């Protein structure tokens, strides 16, 4: 079986790896470089509890399933590629600032334990005085998303896959209603199966009937990276609070992230930088002495209902793996498992994620935007 995957982010490569191991001949087309989209600028939190607090939703179930796959996925990737991907399941702190309303009673995904502000500070001494209380979620993990993508690319190629970087998929070709090819500036690739895994760019390829175009909108996020003064240690845990998250990675911390509907704009803004720094310093006052070492912007792929889009599209031969929104890294092993088994074994996919669920609807995406812009108030905004 020949498969063409569009997008060499974590989803496309993980699916490609699984399919190649299952005996398929797989080519991944990438408009830029491997892992250069949302993966490059991702915090790498595997944050089922922090991101998907309410238990029992299809997405929270999917997150738990992905979380359970992660230890084996990480071990296999590291063993095969020889690249350390920084996978650590050492829990996250979810903080409530003084003056914030108590946390809703809705149950968090997975185990968690309430902590006093003092107990939270004992775990993370950089935390300031302005805390009300905290929750420790021990099942939360993290991974270095950039190393993850490098490792995935190595594993995929070792399994016989081919990555064609800087080769943009421009136009799909249908014959008798079935997907038969995708044209790039260089050639037309023919295959039995095509998988759209192009993240925020999933709706940009020509040639599809309108109802088959994945309903994906880019949601911009900016992240800053801070380096400590000499002799100062980075936090041990991922910390969430005051509207941001702080992620330790390679002796620095990532502070993220803004949320904004800005089309395909990935410019770096002073307003986001200032806001992220201020919020992070509200959590950990000592960060005011840390040096800004990087500033990133990326685009999350979001569906109108915020859920992943996984499965068969309305065009024969075309499958979709998109809409991972804020959870692309967490979901990766589960997306790879579902899509590879769908293609190879024709398993059923959760109808909540069915790419065809939007047909005949005019649903609009509702995004909670961060109040980092002058005059911004964090209000929910709609986009079609």
Q: For residue 292, what are the β-bridge partners?
A: 226
SS3 at position 356 = helix
Nearer to ligand GLY, 21 or 335 (CB): 335
- What is the dihedral sign for C-alpha 349, 353, 356, 357? positive
Q: How far is CA 136 from CA 87, 99, 241, 259, in A?
A: 19, 20, 12, 25
Q: For residue 179, what are the β-bridge partners?
A: 174
CA 381/CA 383 separation, integer angstroms: 7
Nearer to ligand GLY, 91 or 221 (CB): 221
Q: Between 300 and 339, how does the x/- string for binding to ligand GLY read (CB under 6 A)?
A: x-------------------------x-------------
| Shortest distance in whole angstroms from residue 208 CB to ligand GLY | 27
| Shortest distance in whole angstroms from residue 45 CB to ligand GLY | 6
Decide: 233 and 34 in contact? Cβ < 8 Å: no
Residues between 216 and 245 with contacts to ligand GLY, criterion CB under 6 A: 221
| Shortest distance in whole angstroms from residue 356 CB to ligand GLY | 26
Q: For residue 123, what are the β-bridge partners?
A: none
Is the peptide bond prior to 326 cis by the omega test (within 30 degrees of 0)?
A: no
Residues between 14 and 53 with contacts to ligand GLY, criterion CB under 6 A: 43, 45, 51
Q: For residue 113, what are the β-bridge partners?
A: 136
Structure tokens at 352: 């909540």
Residue 257 is a binding residue for ligand GLY (CB under 6 A): yes
Q: Between 132 and 151, how does the x/- string for binding to ligand GLY read (CB under 6 A)?
A: --------------------
| Shortest distance in whole angstroms from residue 140 CB to ligand GLY | 12
| Shortest distance in whole angstroms from residue 328 CB to ligand GLY | 8
In order, the DSSP letters of 215-242 are --EEEEEEEEEEEPPTTPPPPSSEEEET
CA 372/CA 241 separation, integer angstroms: 15
| Shortest distance in whole angstroms from residue 256 CB to ligand GLY | 5
| Shortest distance in whole angstroms from residue 327 CB to ligand GLY | 6
Nearer to ligand GLY, 120 or 330 (CB): 330
CA 384/CA 382 separation, integer angstroms: 7
Residues contacting ligand GLY: total by CB under 6 A: 8
Nearer to ligand GLY, 45 or 66 (CB): 45
Nearer to ligand GLY, 25 or 65 (CB): 65
Residues 256, 301, 308, 323: which binds ligand GLY (CB under 6 A)? Answer: 256
For the chain, the straight-line distance linking the first and the last C-alpha, in angstroms and rounded, comes to: 37
**Residue numbers at the binding site for ligand GLY (CB under 6 A):** 43, 45, 51, 221, 256-257, 300, 326
């Amino acid at each position: 079986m020949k498969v063409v995957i569009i997008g060499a982010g974590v989803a496309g490569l993980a699916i490609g790896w699984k399919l190649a191991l299952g005996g398929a001949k797989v080519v991944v087309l990438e408009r830029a470089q491997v892992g250069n989209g949302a993966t490059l600028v991702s915090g790498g939190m595997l944050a089922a509890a922090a991101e998907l607090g309410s238990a029992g939703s299809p997405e929270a179930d999917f997150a738990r399933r992905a979380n359970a796959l992660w230890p084996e996925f990480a071990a296999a990737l590291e063993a095969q590629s020889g690249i350390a991907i920084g996978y650590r399941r050492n829990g996250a702190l979810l903080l409530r600032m003084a003056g914030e309303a108590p946390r809703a009673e809705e149950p968090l995904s997975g185990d968690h334990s309430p902590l006093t502000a003092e107990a939270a500070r004992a775990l993370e001494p950089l935390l300031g005085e302005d805390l009300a209380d905290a929750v420790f979620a021990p099942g939360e993990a993290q991974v270095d998303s950039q190393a993850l993508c490098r490792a995935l690319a190595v594993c995929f190629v070792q399994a016989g896959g081919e990555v064609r970087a800087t080769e943009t998929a421009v136009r799909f070709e249908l014959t008798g209603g079935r997907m038969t090819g995708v044209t790039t500036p260089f050639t037309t690739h023919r295959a039995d199966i095509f998988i759209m895994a192009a993240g925020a760019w999933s709706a940009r390829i020509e040639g599809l009937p309108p109802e088959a175009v994945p309903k994906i909108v880019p949601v911009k996020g900016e992240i800053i990276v801070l380096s400590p003064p000499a002799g100062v240690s980075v936090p041990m845990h991922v910390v969430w609070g005051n509207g941001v998250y702080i992620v330790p990675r390679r002796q620095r911390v990532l502070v993220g992230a803004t949320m904004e509907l800005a089309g395909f704009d990935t410019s770096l803004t002073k307003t986001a930088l200032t806001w992220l720094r201020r919020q992070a310093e509200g959590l950990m006052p000592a960060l005011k002495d840390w040096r800004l070492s990087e500033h990133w912007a990326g685009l999350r792929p979001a569906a109108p209902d915020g859920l992943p889009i996984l499965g068969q599209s309305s065009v024969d031969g075309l499958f979709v793996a998109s809409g991972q929104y804020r959870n692309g890294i967490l979901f990766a092993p589960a997306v790879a498992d579902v899509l590879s088994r769908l293609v190879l074994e024709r398993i059923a996919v959760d109808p909540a994620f069915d790419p065809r669920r939007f047909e005949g609807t005019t649903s609009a995406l509702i995004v909670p935007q961060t109040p980092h812009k002058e005059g911004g108030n964090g209000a929910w905004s709609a986009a079609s």
